[in-house]
Structure 1
Amino acid sequence: MLYYTVVFFVIALIAAFFGFSGIAAGAAEIAKILFFVFLVITIISILVGVFK
């Protein structure tokens, strides 16, 4: 599950780079969504690791 959080984080960073540099306007919104998905998955991964 931690692998997927890293993948989402990298995708969010790439989307943020393109979105905030003016290359693609819609990529900034995608980056925000992916960031929050990454954040939620990270919290879930930490909680699962703590309770195991």
Structure 2
Amino acid sequence: MSNLLYAVAVVLVILWALGFFVYSVGSMIHVLLIIAVIAILLRVIRG
């Protein structure tokens, strides 16, 4: 389960980077970033 959480976080960060630098979709990209950061923090906290 933790590997899945980590994979989702990595995918969200990649999508955020692509959207931020290529498409500039707006606030949706920042929502993806926040979700990815939360997922990474949960991964770090849970070990």
- TM-score, normalising length: structure 1: 0.54
Listed as ranges, the gaps of 5+ residues in structure 2 are none
Listed as ranges, the gaps of 5+ residues in structure 1 are 47-52
In angstroms, what is the RMSD of aligned CA positions? 2.1
- TM-score, normalising length: structure 2: 0.57
- Aligned pairs, number: 46
Calculate percent identity across the aligned residue pairs.
Answer: 13
Structure with larger Rg: 1
* Structure of greater relative contact order (alpha carbons < 8 Å, 6+ residues apart): 2
* Structure with more of its chain in helix, by fraction: 2
**Where does 1:16-35 land on structure 2 (aligned, <5 Å)?**
16-35=17-36
